[in-house]
Structure formats: structure tokens, C-alpha cells
Amino acid sequence: MSQESNGKTTAGLVVQIATIVVSIVAAVSTPIILMYSKVNAMEVEMTKKFEEVETQFRALDQTRNIQFSDQQRTNALIWNATELGKHTPYPSGPFFQPNISK
């Protein structure tokens, strides 16, 4: 076998290997891209669901804050209407008002 034929054989093998590698990369990258797209879509969907749940919790926190403040006003009215209220005012704070929402 001559050196020229060895060169052609080597060049042919390199081309075949390159073709195989390109086809493998194409075959593998397409499913990976599809998987990434699906995962990204699921992440967007879950983020929307979490935002909805978080909004519901915030609404509940605001309701509790209003209820707590109303209860404190009622307590102050009752306290001030009794004999104790004439001598000492109802404590006006500091109360912990849990305001978690933004």
C-alpha cells in the first residue's frame, strides 16, 4: 500500500467519523432542546400557580390584620368604659401586627 492510498484512506475515515459525530450531535441535541422547552414551560406554569397561592395568603394576612386592629379598638372601648379605664388608659402598643404581604 502506498503512502498516497494511506492518506486517502485516512482522509476518508476522518470524513466518516466527522459525519457520524455530526449526526450523533444532531440526534442528541434535538431531544435535549425539546426537554429544555418542556421544563421551561413547566417552570413558568408552576411560577404562576405559586404566585396565585401567595396572593391568596397575602389576602388572608391582610384580613387578619384588619380583624386584629378591630379587636384592639373594641378592647380599648370596653376598657375605657370600665372603672379601670378611668385610672389607666388601654395600652396602645406596641402590638405585633403580622403584615407579611408587600
DSSP 88: S
- Cβ atoms of 97 and 64 within 8 Å: the answer is no
Q: What phi-psi label fits residue 93: left (phi over 0), alpha (psi between -120 and 50 degrees) or beta?
A: left
pLDDT one-digit tens code per residue, 6-26: 667 887 888 888 888 888 888
pTM score, two decimals? 0.38
Regions of the chain where pLDDT drops below 70: 1-7, 55-57, 93-102
Question: Hey, CA dihedral for 30, 31, 33, 34, is it positive or negative?
Answer: positive
Q: Which residues, at least 6 apart from 59, have a Cβ–Cβ distance to it below 8 Å?
A: 101
3-state secondary structure of 2: coil
